[in-house]
Protein backbone atom coordinates (compact mmCIF):
# COMPACT_ATOMS: atom_id res chain seq x y z
CA UNK A 1 0.00 0.00 0.00
CA UNK A 2 1.39 3.38 -0.97
CA UNK A 3 0.19 6.64 0.42
CA UNK A 4 -0.56 9.42 -2.03
CA UNK A 5 1.44 12.21 -0.45
CA UNK A 6 -0.07 15.61 0.00
CA UNK A 7 0.97 18.66 1.99
CA UNK A 8 -1.37 17.80 4.82
CA UNK A 9 -2.19 14.19 4.08
CA UNK A 10 -0.51 12.95 7.22
CA UNK A 11 1.87 10.73 5.31
CA UNK A 12 5.05 10.56 7.31
CA UNK A 13 8.26 10.97 5.40
CA UNK A 14 9.62 7.92 7.15
CA UNK A 15 6.55 5.74 6.89
CA UNK A 16 3.22 6.30 5.19
CA UNK A 17 0.20 6.15 7.43
CA UNK A 18 -3.32 5.27 6.42
CA UNK A 19 -5.13 8.60 6.14
CA UNK A 20 -7.89 7.72 3.72
CA UNK A 21 -6.13 8.92 0.57
CA UNK A 22 -4.35 5.82 -0.51
CA UNK A 23 -4.23 3.16 -3.14
CA UNK A 24 -2.88 -0.32 -3.58
CA UNK A 25 -0.17 -0.62 -6.15
CA UNK A 26 2.79 -2.82 -6.76
CA UNK A 27 5.89 -0.71 -7.17
CA UNK A 28 9.56 -1.42 -7.02
CA UNK A 29 11.75 0.47 -4.56
CA UNK A 30 13.07 2.81 -7.27
CA UNK A 31 9.63 3.71 -8.54
CA UNK A 32 8.44 4.24 -5.00
CA UNK A 33 11.31 6.62 -4.33
CA UNK A 34 10.53 8.54 -7.53
CA UNK A 35 6.86 8.79 -6.62
CA UNK A 36 7.64 10.00 -3.12
CA UNK A 37 10.14 12.58 -4.40
CA UNK A 38 7.69 13.90 -7.00
CA UNK A 39 4.89 14.13 -4.48
CA UNK A 40 7.12 15.86 -1.95
CA UNK A 41 8.32 18.33 -4.58
CA UNK A 42 4.72 19.07 -5.57
CA UNK A 43 3.67 19.54 -1.96
CA UNK A 44 6.53 21.93 -1.27
CA UNK A 45 5.66 24.00 -4.32
CA UNK A 46 1.96 24.06 -3.44
CA UNK A 47 2.36 24.90 0.22
CA UNK A 48 4.15 28.04 1.48
CA UNK A 49 4.73 26.27 4.79
CA UNK A 50 7.36 23.62 4.59
CA UNK A 51 6.46 20.05 5.42
CA UNK A 52 9.29 19.80 7.92
CA UNK A 53 8.30 22.88 9.96
CA UNK A 54 4.59 23.04 9.21
CA UNK A 55 4.84 26.59 10.51
CA UNK A 56 3.69 29.84 8.93
CA UNK A 57 5.85 31.27 6.15
CA UNK A 58 8.03 33.64 8.14
CA UNK A 59 10.12 36.41 6.61
CA UNK A 60 12.57 38.92 8.03
CA UNK A 61 10.52 41.90 9.19
CA UNK A 62 12.40 44.24 6.87
CA UNK A 63 10.78 47.48 7.93
CA UNK A 64 7.44 49.27 8.40
CA UNK A 65 4.54 47.07 7.36
CA UNK A 66 6.60 43.89 7.62
CA UNK A 67 3.99 42.07 9.63
CA UNK A 68 3.73 40.55 13.09
CA UNK A 69 7.03 40.02 14.91
CA UNK A 70 7.38 36.58 16.47
CA UNK A 71 8.12 36.98 19.37
CA UNK A 72 7.14 40.55 20.32
CA UNK A 73 10.10 42.80 19.54
CA UNK A 74 9.81 44.79 22.74
CA UNK A 75 10.88 41.68 24.67
CA UNK A 76 14.36 42.18 23.20
CA UNK A 77 14.88 45.86 23.78
CA UNK A 78 18.66 46.37 23.93
CA UNK A 79 19.39 42.66 23.57
CA UNK A 80 22.76 41.78 22.07
CA UNK A 81 22.37 40.42 18.56
CA UNK A 82 18.72 41.46 18.19
CA UNK A 83 17.89 43.28 14.97
CA UNK A 84 14.21 44.11 14.66
CA UNK A 85 14.48 44.36 10.87
CA UNK A 86 16.19 41.00 10.51
CA UNK A 87 13.96 39.28 13.09
CA UNK A 88 11.33 36.97 11.66
CA UNK A 89 7.73 38.07 11.29
CA UNK A 90 4.52 36.73 9.82
CA UNK A 91 3.88 38.98 6.80
CA UNK A 92 0.39 40.55 6.58
CA UNK A 93 -0.55 38.45 3.55
CA UNK A 94 0.43 35.25 5.37
CA UNK A 95 -1.66 36.26 8.39
CA UNK A 96 -4.56 36.73 6.02
CA UNK A 97 -3.99 33.45 4.22
CA UNK A 98 -3.89 31.56 7.51
CA UNK A 99 -7.07 33.26 8.70
CA UNK A 100 -5.34 34.79 11.71
CA UNK A 101 -6.87 37.88 13.29
CA UNK A 102 -3.90 40.10 14.07
CA UNK A 103 -5.69 42.19 16.68
CA UNK A 104 -6.63 39.08 18.62
CA UNK A 105 -3.05 37.81 18.62
CA UNK A 106 -1.79 41.15 19.90
CA UNK A 107 -4.51 41.42 22.54
CA UNK A 108 -3.69 37.93 23.81
CA UNK A 109 0.04 38.74 23.91
CA UNK A 110 -0.57 41.87 25.94
CA UNK A 111 -2.85 40.08 28.39
CA UNK A 112 -0.58 37.05 28.85
CA UNK A 113 2.66 39.01 29.20
CA UNK A 114 1.05 41.29 31.76
CA UNK A 115 -0.20 38.27 33.66
CA UNK A 116 3.30 36.83 33.62
CA UNK A 117 4.78 40.13 34.82
CA UNK A 118 2.72 39.76 38.00
CA UNK A 119 4.76 36.68 38.94
CA UNK A 120 7.88 38.81 39.25
CA UNK A 121 9.85 36.02 37.58
CA UNK A 122 12.42 36.55 34.87
CA UNK A 123 11.15 36.08 31.34
CA UNK A 124 12.73 33.05 29.66
CA UNK A 125 12.69 31.59 26.15
CA UNK A 126 10.32 28.88 27.41
CA UNK A 127 7.78 31.37 28.71
CA UNK A 128 8.04 33.43 25.53
CA UNK A 129 7.41 30.29 23.50
CA UNK A 130 4.34 29.42 25.57
CA UNK A 131 2.82 32.90 25.44
CA UNK A 132 3.51 33.47 21.75
CA UNK A 133 2.08 30.09 20.81
CA UNK A 134 -1.06 30.58 22.86
CA UNK A 135 -1.53 34.04 21.37
CA UNK A 136 -1.37 32.73 17.81
CA UNK A 137 -3.86 30.00 18.66
CA UNK A 138 -6.20 32.58 20.18
CA UNK A 139 -5.92 34.52 16.92
CA UNK A 140 -7.17 31.53 14.95
CA UNK A 141 -4.03 29.55 14.04
CA UNK A 142 -4.13 25.81 14.60
CA UNK A 143 -1.96 24.69 17.55
CA UNK A 144 0.54 22.60 15.56
CA UNK A 145 1.24 25.41 13.10
CA UNK A 146 1.48 27.91 15.96
CA UNK A 147 3.99 25.77 17.85
CA UNK A 148 6.14 25.22 14.75
CA UNK A 149 6.01 28.91 13.83
CA UNK A 150 7.11 30.14 17.24
CA UNK A 151 9.81 27.50 17.54
CA UNK A 152 11.22 28.48 14.15
CA UNK A 153 11.31 32.16 15.09
CA UNK A 154 12.93 31.56 18.47
CA UNK A 155 15.51 29.21 16.97
CA UNK A 156 16.42 31.94 14.48
CA UNK A 157 16.95 34.45 17.27
CA UNK A 158 19.11 32.00 19.19
CA UNK A 159 21.17 31.35 16.06
CA UNK A 160 21.59 35.11 15.64
CA UNK A 161 23.19 35.17 19.07
CA UNK A 162 20.36 36.71 21.06
CA UNK A 163 20.96 35.48 24.64
CA UNK A 164 17.33 35.87 25.71
CA UNK A 165 14.53 38.34 26.35
CA UNK A 166 15.48 41.50 28.24
CA UNK A 167 12.10 42.64 29.50
CA UNK A 168 8.51 41.54 29.85
CA UNK A 169 6.51 43.28 27.10
CA UNK A 170 3.72 45.57 28.29
CA UNK A 171 5.03 45.32 31.83
CA UNK A 172 5.49 49.03 32.51
CA UNK B 1 -2.26 69.38 -1.05
CA UNK B 2 1.43 68.91 -0.30
CA UNK B 3 3.23 65.69 -1.26
CA UNK B 4 3.66 64.98 2.45
CA UNK B 5 -0.08 65.19 3.13
CA UNK B 6 -0.70 63.04 0.06
CA UNK B 7 1.74 60.45 1.41
CA UNK B 8 0.00 60.56 4.79
CA UNK B 9 -3.37 60.03 3.11
CA UNK B 10 -2.12 57.07 1.11
CA UNK B 11 -0.51 55.45 4.16
CA UNK B 12 -3.58 56.02 6.31
CA UNK B 13 -5.97 54.56 3.78
CA UNK B 14 -3.83 51.53 2.90
CA UNK B 15 -2.49 50.57 6.32
CA UNK B 16 -5.54 51.48 8.38
CA UNK B 17 -8.75 51.62 6.40
CA UNK B 18 -7.99 48.90 3.87
CA UNK B 19 -6.34 46.63 6.45
CA UNK B 20 -9.38 46.89 8.73
CA UNK B 21 -11.79 46.13 5.89
CA UNK B 22 -9.70 43.13 4.81
CA UNK B 23 -9.55 41.85 8.37
CA UNK B 24 -13.33 42.13 8.68
CA UNK B 25 -13.78 40.25 5.43
CA UNK B 26 -11.54 37.45 6.69
CA UNK B 27 -13.63 37.14 9.85
CA UNK B 28 -16.61 36.32 7.62
CA UNK B 29 -14.91 33.31 6.05
CA UNK B 30 -16.36 29.97 7.15
CA UNK B 31 -12.87 28.79 8.08
CA UNK B 32 -12.17 31.71 10.44
CA UNK B 33 -11.63 30.62 14.04
CA UNK B 34 -10.90 33.80 15.97
CA UNK B 35 -13.26 34.91 18.75
CA UNK B 36 -14.48 37.82 16.61
CA UNK B 37 -15.31 35.49 13.71
CA UNK B 38 -17.19 33.11 16.01
CA UNK B 39 -19.11 35.98 17.60
CA UNK B 40 -20.13 37.36 14.21
CA UNK B 41 -21.20 33.95 12.93
CA UNK B 42 -23.28 33.33 16.04
CA UNK B 43 -24.90 36.76 15.87
CA UNK B 44 -25.64 36.35 12.16
CA UNK B 45 -27.41 33.08 12.87
CA UNK B 46 -29.26 34.04 16.00
CA UNK B 47 -29.83 37.78 16.11
CA UNK B 48 -32.16 40.19 14.39
CA UNK B 49 -30.44 42.59 11.94
CA UNK B 50 -30.36 45.48 14.42
CA UNK B 51 -28.87 43.31 17.16
CA UNK B 52 -26.36 41.89 14.68
CA UNK B 53 -25.33 45.46 13.85
CA UNK B 54 -24.93 46.19 17.56
CA UNK B 55 -22.44 43.31 17.75
CA UNK B 56 -20.56 44.41 14.65
CA UNK B 57 -20.25 48.14 15.38
CA UNK B 58 -17.80 48.06 18.32
CA UNK B 59 -15.80 45.22 16.78
CA UNK B 60 -15.32 47.10 13.50
CA UNK B 61 -14.43 50.33 15.30
CA UNK B 62 -11.92 48.48 17.51
CA UNK B 63 -10.39 46.73 14.52
CA UNK B 64 -9.90 50.04 12.74
CA UNK B 65 -8.28 51.67 15.76
CA UNK B 66 -6.10 48.58 16.15
CA UNK B 67 -4.76 49.01 12.62
CA UNK B 68 -4.17 52.72 13.21
CA UNK B 69 -2.08 51.87 16.27
CA UNK B 70 -0.37 49.01 14.41
CA UNK B 71 0.66 51.45 11.69
CA UNK B 72 2.16 53.67 14.40
CA UNK B 73 3.77 50.70 16.21
CA UNK B 74 5.37 49.45 13.03
CA UNK B 75 6.54 52.89 11.97
CA UNK B 76 4.41 53.02 8.84
CA UNK B 77 2.75 56.13 10.26
CA UNK B 78 5.15 58.38 12.15
CA UNK B 79 2.97 60.52 14.36
CA UNK B 80 3.94 62.95 17.10
CA UNK B 81 1.47 63.65 19.89
CA UNK B 82 1.37 67.00 21.64
CA UNK B 83 0.37 66.31 25.24
CA UNK B 84 -1.58 68.74 27.41
CA UNK B 85 1.62 69.54 29.31
CA UNK B 86 3.23 70.75 26.09
CA UNK B 87 5.53 67.77 25.67
CA UNK B 88 5.62 66.31 22.16
CA UNK B 89 6.22 62.56 21.93
CA UNK B 90 7.04 60.33 18.97
CA UNK B 91 4.42 57.61 19.36
CA UNK B 92 6.41 54.98 17.48
CA UNK B 93 9.54 55.46 19.59
CA UNK B 94 7.93 56.16 22.97
CA UNK B 95 5.24 53.54 22.49
CA UNK B 96 7.82 50.73 22.14
CA UNK B 97 5.66 49.15 19.45
CA UNK B 98 3.11 48.23 22.11
CA UNK B 99 0.29 50.75 21.55
CA UNK B 100 -1.99 48.35 19.66
CA UNK B 101 -1.57 45.79 22.46
CA UNK B 102 -2.38 48.35 25.12
CA UNK B 103 -5.57 49.09 23.23
CA UNK B 104 -6.71 45.51 22.63
CA UNK B 105 -5.58 43.73 25.81
CA UNK B 106 -7.92 42.63 28.55
CA UNK B 107 -7.00 45.38 30.98
CA UNK B 108 -6.12 47.79 28.20
CA UNK B 109 -7.32 51.17 27.09
CA UNK B 110 -10.81 50.05 26.12
CA UNK B 111 -11.46 48.73 29.60
CA UNK B 112 -9.84 51.74 31.19
CA UNK B 113 -11.25 54.62 29.18
CA UNK B 114 -14.19 53.60 27.02
CA UNK B 115 -17.72 54.42 28.05
CA UNK B 116 -19.16 52.31 25.27
CA UNK B 117 -19.53 48.56 24.90
CA UNK B 118 -16.75 46.27 23.78
CA UNK B 119 -16.13 42.55 23.98
CA UNK B 120 -13.16 41.41 26.01
CA UNK B 121 -11.94 38.31 24.18
CA UNK B 122 -9.13 37.75 26.68
CA UNK B 123 -10.77 37.88 30.10
CA UNK B 124 -10.27 34.13 30.53
CA UNK B 125 -6.50 34.63 30.19
CA UNK B 126 -6.37 36.80 33.28
CA UNK B 127 -5.81 35.50 36.76
CA UNK B 128 -3.21 33.08 35.46
CA UNK B 129 -0.17 34.12 37.39
CA UNK B 130 2.03 31.30 36.21
CA UNK B 131 2.42 31.02 32.49
CA UNK B 132 5.89 29.65 33.16
CA UNK B 133 6.23 26.00 32.28
Alpha-carbon distance of A76 to A164, in angstroms, equals 7
Could you read off the pLDDT tens digit of each residue along chain A, which spans 172 residues?
333 333 333 333 223 333 333 333 333 445 545 544 554 444 433 444 444 457 999 999 998 888 899 999 999 999 999 999 999 999 988 998 898 999 999 999 999 999 999 999 999 999 999 999 999 999 999 999 999 999 999 999 999 999 999 999 999 7
Residue B123 belongs to a domain: no
The residue in chain B having the minimum alpha-carbon distance to the alpha carbon of residue A142 is B33
Contacts of A127 (CB under 8 A, 6+ apart): A116, A121, B131, B132, B133
- E-only strand ranges, chain A: 2-3, 22-23, 59-60, 68-69, 88-90
Count CB atoms within 10 A of the CB of residue A163: 13
Residue B127 belongs to a domain: no
Could you read off the pLDDT tens digit of each residue along chain B, which spans 133 residues?
999 999 999 999 999 999 999 999 999 999 898 999 999 999 999 999 999 999 999 999 999 999 999 999 999 999 999 999 999 999 999 999 999 999 999 999 999 999 999 999 999 999 875 544 4
Residue B88 belongs to a domain: yes
With the CA atoms of A62, A172, A115 and A130 taken in that order, what torsion angle do they form, in degrees rounded to the nearest 10?
30
Domain of residue B77, residue span = 3-114
Per-residue pLDDT, A54: 79
3-class SS at B90? strand
**Kind and range of the H or E run holding B81:** strand B80-82
Residue B61 belongs to a domain: yes
Residues B14, B15, B21, CA angle at the centre, nearest 5°?
75
- Give chain B's domain count: 1
Count CB atoms within 10 A of the CB of residue A53: 15
Contact B131/A115, CB-based, under 8 Å?
yes
CB-based contact, B112 to chain A, within 8 Å: no
Identify all chain B residues contacting A73, using CB atoms and an 8 Å cutoff.
97
**Of the candidates A107, A111, A140, which has its C-beta nearest B37's C-beta?**
A140
Count CB atoms within 10 A of the CB of residue B73: 25
Contact B122/A107, CB-based, under 8 Å?
yes
Amino acid sequence: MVCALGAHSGCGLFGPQSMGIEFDIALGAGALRQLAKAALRKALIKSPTSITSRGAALKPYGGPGGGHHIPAKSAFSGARGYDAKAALAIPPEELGKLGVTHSTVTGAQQTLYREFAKTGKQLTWEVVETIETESLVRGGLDPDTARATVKQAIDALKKAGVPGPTRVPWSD
Amino acid sequence: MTPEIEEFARTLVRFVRDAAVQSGDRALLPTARSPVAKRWAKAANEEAPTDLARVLIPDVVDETIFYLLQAIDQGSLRIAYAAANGKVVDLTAEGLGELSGWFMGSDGWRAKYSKERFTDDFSDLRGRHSSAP
